Amino acid sequence: MRVYILVLLLSAALTYFLVPAVLRFALRIGAMTQVRERDVHTVPIPRLGGVAMFLGFTASLLIASNIPYLHRVLGNNSQVWAIWWGAALMCLVGFIDDIWELDWYTKLAGEVLAAGVMAWKGVQFITLPFMGLTVGSARFNIACTVLVVIVIVNAVNFMDGLDGLASGIVAIASIAFFIYSYILTRNATPGDYTSVACAVSAASAGMCIGFLPHNFHPARIFMGDSGALMLGMVIAGAGIQVTGQIDPAATSLGYKLPAYLPLLLSVGIIALPIVDFLWATFRRLRRGQSPFHADAGHLHHRLLRLGHSHVGTVLILHMWAAVFSFSCILLVVWPAKKVVWVALGSAAIASVVTFRMFGAGRRKARVTQGERIPSKDATDNVEVTLSSTRVDPIAPHSNSELATQGRLSATTNSLYDDVSPKSVGSPPISFHDDEKRGQS
């Protein structure tokens, strides 16, 4: 356990200290998230934070692979590097999208390619967690794997809409996956607690934790598609590696861990992003729109319109993610009836916290104070703001205006003392229907 905590801390520290360099690079090339109607942020913010996260993730795995205890599963195991290759390609697709704004079908093709490479290199469904049934042919294995990865990747991407939201949810999910993988590994191979899923989940949690101080409201930098797509790939790869390749019969502990439980846990741990993704897809298809058409109907947008603050909305969604994730984890160690009562009690508390602040009066107060709330029918075609501070999407602000209005909060932190607002250009503003750049 201690060695995995070390991997987590390494990943967190490396990511934290790499972010300032990436922020300077984003400012230099003009990789900024502009303001649109469906956005909650009111000023242009640098993106590409996912690059720092990926570098921290990679460095921590390289260091961990040289630790004798983990060398067997990291140094000579093709599966961990299969996940790495998938994450690297997904980060590259997101990086290109952050710079040049790919159309949705080109980006989807890149996602399929990245998922296919990971599956081709060995991380794929071999058995389904239903009584040990095999998936089928090698081609069908890869197809099932790619489909699951695409759903998870876009679920994480869709949730990346508020400062610290996606990174916090993935951190919670990664910690839950780590606990689950650790228990499965301990039960399947007594005396040997080393596994690819444990190491990857620990590194994934670490890079999210290291990025959060820079990304929490008010964010100095966004992770961009380079981060959201990569995070989805990492957590999908770890989940597939542990649920699709461990014999479910080996994990059975009678009433505590029936053979179907791995799939239930995998879905439950990432339930919040999946629910948001499925609802968004249904909503858009019902309107005759592409599933990738951006709007302001996500869970976080709804909570904002119902009266919660930016930070409050993020913390509420983190709370629900923890309720889903750790209620599922308890099924591994407790009887199902006991877990149901704990889950219901936790959900009741979370519901009280979620609903007690709703009200038009609170929403009106927030608007008066200058907090921006996207309308229900927000699109990328026109800029409307409820905030007292308006950003005009037609005429970019000059560098002096950005400096005067204090639009680069990064300069207030000692880590960013060498980042000057003067280095910020005024890149052209695009209203491409892209889910990621709606982050706030």
Judged against a pLDDT cut of 50, whether residue 53 lies above it is answered with: yes
For residue 304, count CB atoms less than 10 angstroms from its CB and return exposed for 0-12, middle for 13-18, buried for 19 or more: buried
* Domain parsing of the chain, residue ranges: 2-363
Signed CA dihedral, 276, 278, 284, 289: sign only: positive
In this prediction, residue 298 has a pLDDT band, given cuts at 50, 70 and 90, of low
Is 157 among the annotated ligand-binding positions?
A: yes
DSSP 232-276: HHHHHHHHHHHHTTS-GGGG--TTSS-TTHHHHHHHHHTHHHHHH
Q: Could you please report the per-residue DSSP string of 6-65?
A: HHHHHHHHHHHHHHHHHHHHHHHHT-EE---TT----S-EE--HHHHHHHHHHHHHHHHH
- 225 known ligand binder: yes
Of the chain, the percentage scoring pLDDT greater than 90 comes to 32
- What does the pLDDT average to over 320-325? 88
Position with higher pLDDT, 7 vs 431:
7
> Encoding tokens for residue 27?
């400012």
Q: What is the pLDDT averaged over residues 251-259?
A: 45
pTM of the prediction?
Answer: 0.75
